[in-house]
């Protein structure tokens, strides 16, 4: 086992015959004995940090703890490290997104005193990381609410980033003992859940609406707590849209299993009642039509959103769906008869239209009245197109 490291031969077997890692009687540790008894050559890790406590884990974004009238408050780093980027990547891919949260309560950046501003945010770690990253060279208190690991705007919409939670967290963190002023800076998008005048009445703290985006906070703070008009309006850039695509796709895993199964079953139906070889050969084509629909509705339409004609998302998705369906069916024209091609295009269009319609939930500008209006028109059409696609697909097996 130690061929590669002959100098370590036998180091994992203790002379007293005990298995490694188990020590019967603690021997006095000296620098010399440490060196000698290192198992398998790696030096020991650093000693326990002075801030470590039994039963608690020290988080790597915490720099140190600062003493305040309400006890030690963690001072957090303003630079993101590898674990933060890895965590962000994981949730962007839709993996365990609901568990990415930090403990609510008071944190700080820089060296805040009793006059330093108090910034309020959600306990979704991605939100918290974006905020602290925007606070380089700033001294401020950060009051993290318990929004159950949900971002600011969504939590405000669900009444988790709420008047009650702001008041509760201000009281629980005894903020009035930490700062001598009575101002809280909240992200503007929290206004859906927080009534500023009620916070004042119930906690004595005055809400000041900060900018929408964390990157504008420095300017906001140095500009006498005034936000430019552009900082008050949401945008939906191509980058904003692209980062949402993996999560959209991750929602499709479960339904896709059933769709794959159905596609193979439908494809097997033919003149021989049911043929396994047809299920396989024709099923693949139907899966390609489905995949083309996903690509058109959940990837291409979101990316090209402002340039696809129409206001309704279902229409935008249908347009991209037809174009993709026609293009891809043409590529596979040797495998498809006219009826099969029709089924292919209808399938891609219906799937694309439906998925594009579902993208409304990820945008910052669609109203529920509008979404409901387009759904009432679009869903019957999407269902009809899918039904016709199935009829045409099965029909093409008998025609062929």
Partner 1 sequence: METFRYLPDVTTLTLNEKDCVGCGVCEIVCPHGVFLLHNKTARIHDRDGCMECGACAKNCPAEAIGVSPGVGCAAYIIQTWIKGKNAASCSSSECC
- Which one of residues 128, 209, 264, 393 is an interface residue with partner 1 (CB under 8 A)? 209
Q: Is 275 in the site for partner 1 (CB under 8 A)?
A: no
Q: Comparing C-alpha atoms, which of 381, 394, 316, 306 is closest to residue 350?
A: 381
57, β-bridge pairs: none
C-alpha–C-alpha distance, residues 324 and 330, integer Å:
10
**Interface segment toward partner 1; rule CB under 8 A; list 57-65, 173-181, 281-289, 355-363:** 355-363
Q: Give 334 or 369: the residue with its C-beta nearer to partner 1.
A: 369
**Interface segment toward partner 1; rule CB under 8 A; list 15-23, 26-34, 168-176, 230-238:** 230-238
Least Å from the CB of residue 105 to partner 1: 23
C-alpha–C-alpha distance, residues 291 and 284, integer Å:
10
Q: Is 335 in the site for partner 1 (CB under 8 A)?
A: no
**Interface segment toward partner 1; rule CB under 8 A; list 34-42, 113-121, 177-185, 231-239:** 231-239
Least Å from the CB of residue 155 to partner 1: 9
Segment 206-212 long-range contacts (CB within 8 Å, at least 24 positions apart): 206/182, 207/166, 208/183, 208/184, 209/185, 210/119, 210/185, 210/186, 211/187, 212/187, 212/188
Q: Give 157 or 400: the residue with its C-beta nearer to partner 1.
A: 157
Q: Classify 322 as helix, strand or coil.
A: helix
Q: Give 229 or 277: the residue with its C-beta nearer to partner 1.
A: 229
Q: Is 42 in the site for partner 1 (CB under 8 A)?
A: no
Q: Is 223 in the site for partner 1 (CB under 8 A)?
A: no
Q: What beta strand segments (E) does 100-198 contain?
A: 105-109, 118-121, 140-144, 183-187
Q: Comparing C-alpha atoms, which of 63, 127, 80 is closest to residue 100?
A: 127
- Which one of residues 107, 141, 153, 393 is an interface residue with partner 1 (CB under 8 A)? 153
Least Å from the CB of residue 129 to partner 1: 18
**Interface segment toward partner 1; rule CB under 8 A; list 136-144, 154-162, 282-290, 295-303:** 154-162
Q: Are 279 and 264 contacting, i.e. CB atoms less than 8 angstroms apart? A: yes
- Which one of residues 196, 286, 328, 397 is an interface residue with partner 1 (CB under 8 A)? 196
Q: Classify 387 as helix, strand or coil.
A: helix
Collect all residues with Cβ–Cβ distance below 8 Å to 46 and sequence separation of at least 6.
Answer: none
Q: Is 90 in the site for partner 1 (CB under 8 A)?
A: no
- Which one of residues 193, 293, 297, 321 is an interface residue with partner 1 (CB under 8 A)? 193
- For 343, the enclosing helix (H) or strand (E) is helix 338-358
CA dihedral sign of residues 104, 109, 112, 116: negative
Helices H / strands E in the chain, number of each: 15, 9
Q: Give 290 or 313: the residue with its C-beta nearer to partner 1.
A: 313
Q: Classify 384 as helix, strand or coil.
A: helix
Which residues contact partner 1 by CB under 8 A?
A: 98, 150-151, 153-154, 156-158, 188-189, 191-197, 209, 212, 227, 229, 232-236, 250-251, 305-306, 311-313, 357-358, 360-375
């Amino acid at each position: 086992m130690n061929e590669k490291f002959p100098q370590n031969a036998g180091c994992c077997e203790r002379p007293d015959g005990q298995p490694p890692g188990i020590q019967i009687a603690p021997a006095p540790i000296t620098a010399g004995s440490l060196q000698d008894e290192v198992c398998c050559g790696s030096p020991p890790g650093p000693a326990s940090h002075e801030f470590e406590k039994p039963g608690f884990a020290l988080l790597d974004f915490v720099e140190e703890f600062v003493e305040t009238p309400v006890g030690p408050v963690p001072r957090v780093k303003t630079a993101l490290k590898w674990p933060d980027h890895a965590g962000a990547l994981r949730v962007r891919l839709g993996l365990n997104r609901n568990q990415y949260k930090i403990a609510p309560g008071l944190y700080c950046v820089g060296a805040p005193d009793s006059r330093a501003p108090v910034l309020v945010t959600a306990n979704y770690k991605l939100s918290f990381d974006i905020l602290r990253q925007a606070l380089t060279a700033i001294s401020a208190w950060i009051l993290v609410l318990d929004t159950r690991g949900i971002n600011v705007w969504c939590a405000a919409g669900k009444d988790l980033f709420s008047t009650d939670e702001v008041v509760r967290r201000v009281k629980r963190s005894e903020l009035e003992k930490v700062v001598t002023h009575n101002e809280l800076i909240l992200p503007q998008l929290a206004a859906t859940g927080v009534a500023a005048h009620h916070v004042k009445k119930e906690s004595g703290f005055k809400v000041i609406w900060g900018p929408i985006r964390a990157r504008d906070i420095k300017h906001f703070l140095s500009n006498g707590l005034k936000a430019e008009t552009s900082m008050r309006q949401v945008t939906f850039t191509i980058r904003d849209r692209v980062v949402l695509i993996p999560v959209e796709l991750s929602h499709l895993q479960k339904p896709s299993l059933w769709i794959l199964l159905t596609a193979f079953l439908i494809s097997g139906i033919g003149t021989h009642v049911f043929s396994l070889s047809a299920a396989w050969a024709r099923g693949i084509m139907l899966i390609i039509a489905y995949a083309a629909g996903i690509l058109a509705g959940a990837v291409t339409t979101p990316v090209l959103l402002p340039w696809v004609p129409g206001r309704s998302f279902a229409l935008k998705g249908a347009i991209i769906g037809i174009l993709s369906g026609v293009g891809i069916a043409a590529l596979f024209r040797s495998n498809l008869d006219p009826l099969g091609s029709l089924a292919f295009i209808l399938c891609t269009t219906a799937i694309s239209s439906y998925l594009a319609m579902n993208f409304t939930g990820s945008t910052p500008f669609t109203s529920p009245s509008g979404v409901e209006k387009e759904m009432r028109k679009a869903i019957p059409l999407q269902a009809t197109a899918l039904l016709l696609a199935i009829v045409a697909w099965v029909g093409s097996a008998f025609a062929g």
